[in-house]
Chain A
């Protein structure tokens, strides 16, 4: 088997090409120039839309509706933190459902959210509603997210597409409790619902997106609703794996691969219940979702507190075959909020020690909380770049490291823009 590329690395962390000139009035160029200057280190990315909005002090009703505002803010905050991909995105679980007609709540404080009190599919009689709108681009906020993705692709040179993975979209249109009840009590109806999503809705959405953006190579679908213990590993195998494969098949004629990401992500909240055998089952199901490739996500769980030895033990099966697995290891959101920075740094170093030598490691900052102190994020990124300097040092404990002392975001913006601000 060929060595797999790091999935998130392939999707996010493409480098810019050509000489980038910083335009003080365009924060997207701030990130592009930073990225061009950053070489020879392990890459670190982030999910941080609410955090970016909070740091920049931009209203939710602008940030989640105006692609230029979203892109400029995301790029500026990404440049500020020295992230290796621009965190330019939004509420990735909502667009398809919203475009088909799902009721939404548009808050002032944060991202829009689906109103689960009135599920879009209230019963079998509503299955007919699961179909592509007449025109995706003018439905809901599709234009916003496709245009945001277009700007992101200009910044990175990448050709990625984004979507909501089938299981999470099924939750979006049906609500979690009802969908779970369907899966247990009326599986025929549930299977029909999933089938419509992967045969009709998502291929159409992704084809439309690819056409709008001028093609695509890899579509990544976030799937947080399919995390453990939202679903048992057995349920992932029964309800996620088959539809992931079917969606992949349906999109192949369009010339891109469509993959769900982090389905089965191990997120046990109670440390006393950590169980390596369940963890291994979640990894096994992730591999099946990824069409047999050894790709695992350690995304939203308490990975600063779980033991890493069981992960290494599971990965050894691939190492024994001479295969470098793709490992995405995320710094936990609450650790990023609570700190202290020293603990965050240790966590990053621990990931690199465990996985950096034998596997393709991508570091990630998991859904940085809105009010996480910027010093904490700077600490994580600095640790990734210092301990992750390539080739990796034989002894990471001997690598000198100091917590960075950085200006505030506002000071950074003033420096970059010559006092003119973000232009949003």
Chain B
């Protein structure tokens, strides 16, 4: 691996978004193929941060900074991937339910899902029930992911799933839920297809739900 790619990977592992952006630009300037840069440095960097998290070597601040650095580098590389890019493993629509502004988990989930090869569309926070349903109709994702931080707002996930059923969309999209107050039992009660214990787990569950490339 080139020195630039090594430095880019390291910048992501260390959560230095400025350095990650600069090194990504340097990689392009040096003519390193965007796909190679993405896979060997950007994705490898966020995966390494996840490994350190699982090993209790990294804490949430380290991961959130790594996710920020991943985002900065990916913003440089992804527009250049074009036809040369690997096909997405699936399209995932992600949002935090209405009344809830906590997007910390979502930020990391997006990084991990993107790193795992999914096309992720971020609906943001405080997303009304109807918006989830309208966006499923419009964008036809393979998976819809909902997050909540509060025990009041998490109950709105039921309304989203009910709305999907009512609109005849439930069979066309898998549903993953996550967030601090949720657990497997809650996901089962909702009728969700999976519960993501954390960002890494969400990526693993998404892979399991879509075991073959669908796009």
Chain A residues within 8 Å of B, Cβ to Cβ: 50-51, 53-54, 60, 105, 107-111, 113-117, 176-177, 180-181, 183-185, 228-232, 235, 269-270, 273, 275, 278, 333-334, 337-338, 367, 369-372
Which of B16, B61, B151, B183 sits near A235, CB closer than 8 Å?
A: B61
B151 touches A177 (CB 8 A): no
A-B contact pairs, 29 of them (CB 8 A): A50-B150, A50-B151, A54-B152, A60-B152, A107-B100, A107-B152, A109-B155, A109-B156, A110-B151, A111-B152, A113-B99, A114-B101, A115-B126, A116-B102, A116-B103, A177-B104, A180-B64, A181-B68, A231-B59, A235-B61, A269-B197, A273-B54, A273-B56, A278-B56, A334-B181, A338-B185, A338-B186, A370-B151, A372-B151
B61 touches A117 (CB 8 A): no
Considering the chains assembled together, what is the distance between the CA atoms of A177 and B125 in angstroms? 15
Distance of A344 from chain B, by nearest CB (Å) = 14
Taking A109-B99, A275-B56 as contacts, is the C-beta distance between A117 and B125 under 8 angstroms? yes
A181 touches B99 (CB 8 A): no
Q: Which residues from chain B contact A109 at a C-beta distance below 8 Å?
A: 98-99, 152-153, 155-156
Q: Which residues from chain B contact A114 at a C-beta distance below 8 Å?
A: 101
Q: Which residues from chain B contact A275 at a C-beta distance below 8 Å?
A: 56
B65 CB–A CB distance under 8 Å = yes
Taking A180-B64, A228-B59 as contacts, is the C-beta distance between A113 and B152 under 8 angstroms? no
Distance of A194 from chain B, by nearest CB (Å) = 16
Interface flags for B41-84 (1: CB within 8 Å of A; 0: not) read 00000000000001010011100110010000000000000000
B40 CB–A CB distance under 8 Å = no
Considering the chains assembled together, what is the distance between the CA atoms of A232 and B62 in angstroms? 10
Q: Which residues from chain A contact B64 at a C-beta distance below 8 Å?
A: 176-177, 180
Q: Which residues from chain B contact A229 at a C-beta distance below 8 Å?
A: 59-60
Residue of A nearest to B151 (CB): A369
Interface flags for B110-154 (1: CB within 8 Å of A; 0: not) read 000000000000001110000000000000000000000011110
Residue of B nearest to A268 (CB): B56
Q: Which residues from chain B contact A108 at a C-beta distance below 8 Å?
A: 99
Sorting the interface of chain B by its residue count into under 10, 10 to 19, 20 to 34 or 35 or more gives 20 to 34
Distance of B45 from chain A, by nearest CB (Å) = 17
Residue of A nearest to B16 (CB): A185
Residue of A nearest to B17 (CB): A181
Q: Which residues from chain B contact A181 at a C-beta distance below 8 Å?
A: 17, 65, 68
Considering the chains assembled together, what is the distance between the CA atoms of A108 and B150 in angstroms? 13
A105 touches B103 (CB 8 A): no
- The list of the 9 closest CB pairs from A to B, nearest first, reads A110-B152, A107-B99, A369-B151, A232-B59, A229-B59, A180-B61, A370-B151, A370-B152, A109-B152
Distance of B148 from chain A, by nearest CB (Å) = 10
B15 CB–A CB distance under 8 Å = yes
A184 touches B56 (CB 8 A): no
Q: Which residues from chain A contact B16 at a C-beta distance below 8 Å?
A: 185
Distance of B185 from chain A, by nearest CB (Å) = 5
Residue of B nearest to A112 (CB): B99
B15 touches A110 (CB 8 A): no
A333 touches B181 (CB 8 A): yes
A110 touches B59 (CB 8 A): no
Considering the chains assembled together, what is the distance between the CA atoms of A367 and B181 in angstroms? 10
Interface flags for B90-104 (1: CB within 8 Å of A; 0: not) read 000000001111111
Distance of B170 from chain A, by nearest CB (Å) = 22
Considering the chains assembled together, what is the distance between the CA atoms of A115 and B99 in angstroms? 10
Distance of A415 from chain B, by nearest CB (Å) = 28
Distance of B65 from chain A, by nearest CB (Å) = 6
A113 touches B100 (CB 8 A): yes
Residue of A nearest to B107 (CB): A177
Distance of B99 from chain A, by nearest CB (Å) = 3
Q: Which residues from chain A contact B198 at a C-beta distance below 8 Å?
A: 269-270
Beyond the given A116-B101, A117-B124, please list 11 additional residue pairs across the A-B interface where CB-CB is below 8 A: A53-B152, A109-B153, A109-B155, A113-B102, A113-B150, A116-B102, A117-B125, A180-B61, A230-B61, A367-B151, A370-B152
Distance of B9 from chain A, by nearest CB (Å) = 19
Considering the chains assembled together, what is the distance between the CA atoms of A367 and B104 in angstroms? 20
- Considering only residues 172-209 of chain B, those with a C-beta below 8 Å from chain A are 181, 183, 185-186, 197-198
Q: Which residues from chain A contact B56 at a C-beta distance below 8 Å?
A: 273, 275, 278
Considering the chains assembled together, what is the distance between the CA atoms of A296 and B183 in angstroms? 26
A371 touches B151 (CB 8 A): yes
A184 touches B65 (CB 8 A): yes
B61 touches A231 (CB 8 A): yes
